[in-house]
Amino acid sequence: MQEHEDLHMYAHEYRVMVVSPNTFSHFLQVVLMGIERSKLHEQAKRIWEILKGVQKETRKFGDRLSVLHRHITNAKGAMDTVSGEYMKLSGKVDEIKLIDAYDKSKERTKSGE
């Protein structure tokens, strides 16, 4: 008995716990789970930082897309305006051609009479 007490006192003096292999195995599993949880936490933090960067880039992209949409809308409006003006001008040119053709046909009929 004295040997066991001496062993316990020696272990206590050096802050050593005498445990069974099963207890030690469970202790190591708990330590491993803590380390894995810590790694998971670090990975989650890195993922969160990446997502914040993606959010910032998405916002910038959305702003640029909005500007591009506005430019395209303005360009379409300008195209519609110019196209309308061209149609009016083309119509006037066609009127001039008709007047010229009418005058020429009138001259032919006068000279043919």
Domain ranges of the chain: 32-112
Q: Per residue in 38-75, pLDDT tens? A: 999 999 999 999 999 999 999 999 999 999 999 999 99
Q: For the chain, what is the largest distance between any 2 Cα atoms, rounded to a whole number of angstroms?
A: 153
Q: Between 17 and 54, where is the model more confident?
A: 54
pLDDT at 39: 97
10: its two tokens: 């020696």
Q: How far is CA 37 from CA 24, 44, 87, in A?
A: 20, 10, 72
